[in-house]
Amino acid sequence: MDVRTALAAREYAALRPATEPDPAQAGAGASLRAATEDFAATLRKGEEAAMASMTGDADPHALVMALAQSELAVQTVVSVRDKVVEAYQEILRMPV
């Protein structure tokens, strides 16, 4: 067996984890997942505040703040969706 081949194989095995994708830094997929989770949490907090105000457990100021945050989150998601649809339509219009 050639010593250089064994050395190359050992070096390759040592460096291989450096070339594999890091799940903690998955890029757009991870940031999209985090944004979706934040959106769901914001809506959930608004629903909880609305339920608490119906039973008289929350003050009206907290309800208004939670509903305003929910409205802003929905408007943001709708505008992002519109931009994605616009980009998709632009791609469809491109000549092949």
In whole angstroms, what separates CA 65 from the centre of its chain?
23
Positive or negative, the Cα torsion across 37, 79, 93, 96? negative
Q: Going residue by residue through the chain, which has 96 residues, state the pLDDT in tens, using 9 for 90 and above.
A: 556 777 767 776 776 665 565 666 666 677 888 888 999 999 999 999 888 888 888 788 888 898 899 999 999 999 999 999 999 999 999 987
| CB-neighbour burial class of residue 45 (10 A; exposed 0-12, middle 13-18, buried 19+) | middle
Structural domain including 36 reads: 26-93
Assigned domain for 10 exists: no
Assigned domain for 21 exists: no
Amino acid letter for position 65: M
> How many domains does the chain divide into?
1
Assigned domain for 63 exists: yes
pTM of the model: 0.62
Assigned domain for 5 exists: no
Assigned domain for 7 exists: no
Assigned domain for 81 exists: yes
Assigned domain for 11 exists: no
**Token digits of residue 77:** 């998601």
Assigned domain for 19 exists: no
What letter does residue 58 receive in the DSSP assignment?
A: S
